[in-house]
Amino acid sequence: MLKSIFGATELEPYWVADMDFEVAEPIINELKRLAIRGRFAYEFDSQSVYSAIVNWYQRRHDISLQKELFVQVPGVLTGIALLIRELTEPGDGVLIQTPVYHQFKRLITTADRNVIRSPLKIEDGKYQMDYEDLANQFASGNVKSMILCNPHNPVGRVWSKSELDKLVELANAHDISIISDEIHSDIIYSGHQFNSIASYTEGNHVSLIGSPAKTFGMQSISNGYIYSQNKELFERVKAVVDSMYLGHGNAMTTYATIAAFSKGDQWLDSLLEYLQTTLSWIQSFIEKEIPLVEMFPVEGTYQIWLDFSKTGRTPEEVKAALLEAKIGLTPGNWFDAEHENFFRMNIASPLAKIQENFRRLKLN
């Protein structure tokens, strides 16, 4: 895969959003227990999964959820694809706030819906929602739903309650449904608070999509979940999931998820502390050694968003310099065509390795 994307194989793959760390010991212990047992008969325990998630949200985010309003799906992208089809019709517009996770566009277009862009704007050195543009887009009649990314991938924003209040008010005024991808909700840094769309109980459909995948490095052994306090939408989604038999996780996924959400606090706290140290080192290095590269403030996720526009180098020259340093980053035009000289980097990797790569980077 590295060869097809970067034309080289001898580089560190900081482009993909997963972690280069061993998962929490309680997860490993559960997987060992299941493997040693040697029996893999039918085994469904979604209610215990939902209870673990509810307790986690209450404990970590002070958010109260009801376990009766969860629907399990094979993954976050499956959940978003399903909601796009339930909340809109072919030919409808689905809005995204660019630059944003590139798979959103694919999910919209493959459902025969139209991608509507509402670019984030940069104010005071960080990305902000453009409420004037959102209001105009919503009022146009072309938009029926929007996908919110919270925390936002790739720019690292964690939307504040006041920002979400304003967004939900606008959406409700124009009968726009909100699909909120909150898969990075637990990777939140000091000084910031995660606010979920699930906290909004009145007005239009608001649904969150989540998973333990990003929090605990469980991408290959995790499911996703949909949560909606809109009872009518919940019943519709549950009926579709049940009709396609999508809601039954396997035993490995089920008990790994329960272990993660029940016993993973200490591991996550240590991870966040480590990531904060890594962020501080990268920020300091950039300021001292490559000051023409701009690193946007990171409030959440383990991605950083880098702007190389002021270096005077073309995107191809920047890519060449990165490859020379054996650094594989995600090109910005994956997230939006207008961000060609931006790059996303995954920092969930040993700091010593990151330091070695950055010290090889020459942009002078």
Query: What is the residue-wise DSSP string for 51-116?
Result: HHHHHHHHHHH-----GGGEEEES-HHHHHHHHHHHH--TT-EEEE-SS--THHHHHHHHTT-EEE
For the chain, give every residue range classified as CATH 3.90.1150.10: 1-23+265-360
pLDDT digits 0-9 by tens, 322-348:
988 889 999 999 999 999 999 999 999
Q: Which long-range contacts (CB under 8 A, 24 or more apart) does 243-248 make?
A: 246/72, 246/73, 246/74, 246/78, 247/46, 247/71, 247/72, 247/73, 248/44, 248/46, 248/72
pLDDT tens-place string over residues 40-96: 888 878 899 999 999 999 999 999 999 999 999 999 999 999 999 999 999 999 999
pLDDT tens digit sequence for 168-216: 999 999 999 999 999 999 999 999 999 999 998 876 678 889 999 999 9
Pairing verdict, β 177-181 and 206-210:
parallel
Q: Is 123 helix (H, G, I), strand (E, B) or coil?
A: strand
Check pLDDT > 90 for residue 361: no
Q: Which of 88-92, 247-251, 281-285 has the lowest mean pLDDT?
A: 247-251
Query: What pLDDT does residue 4 have?
Result: 56
Residue 81 has a pLDDT of 97
The pLDDT, as a whole number, for residue 17 is 84
Minimal CA–CA distance to 54: which of 222, 227, 239, 191?
Answer: 227
pLDDT at residue 128 greater than cutoff 60: yes
The model scores a pTM over 0.85? yes
Cα diameter, the chain:
61
pLDDT at 203: 64
- For residues 171 and 26, what is the distance between their CA atoms, to the nearest angstrom? 41
Is the pLDDT confidence value at 9 over 70?
no
Residue 141 backbone zone (phi > 0: left; psi -120 to 50: alpha; other: beta): left
Question: Is the pLDDT assigned to residue 121 strictly greater than 60?
Answer: yes
Predicted confidence (pLDDT) at residue 27 exceeds the cutoff of 60:
yes
Query: Is residue 178 classed exposed, middle or buried when 0-12, 13-18 and 19+ CB atoms within 10 A define those classes?
Result: buried
Residue 7 pLDDT class (50, 70, 90 cuts): low
Higher pLDDT, 233 or 155: 155
The proportion of the chain whose per-residue pLDDT surpasses 70, expressed as a percent, equals 97
Which pLDDT value is given to residue 43?
Answer: 80
State the helix-helix crossing angle for 251-263 and 25-37, rounded to 10 degrees. Answer: 150
What does the pLDDT read at residue 2? 52
- Give the Cα separation of 167 and 195 in Å (integer): 13
Tokens of residue 51, six digits:
């209870």
How high is the mean pLDDT of the chain? 93
In the chain, residues under CATH classification 3.40.640.10 are 25-263
Per residue in 219-230, pLDDT (tens digit) is: 998 899 999 988
Across 238-252, 293-307, 325-339, the highest mean pLDDT is recorded for 293-307
Assign 313 a pLDDT band (cuts: 50, 70, 90): very high
Position 10 scores a pLDDT of: 72
Q: What percent of the chain has pLDDT over 90?
A: 82
* Domain 1-23+265-360 classification at class level: alpha beta
Q: Hey, which CATH number is domain 25-263, 3.40.640.10, 3.40.50.300, 3.20.20.140, 3.30.420.10?
A: 3.40.640.10
CA separation for the pair 276, 21 (Å, rounded): 15
| pLDDT confidence band for 114 (50 / 70 / 90) | very high
Q: Is residue 13 predicted with pLDDT exceeding 90?
A: no
Least confident of 33-42, 107-116, 297-306: 33-42
Residue 202's pLDDT is 72
Given a cut of 70, whether residue 364 has pLDDT beyond it is no
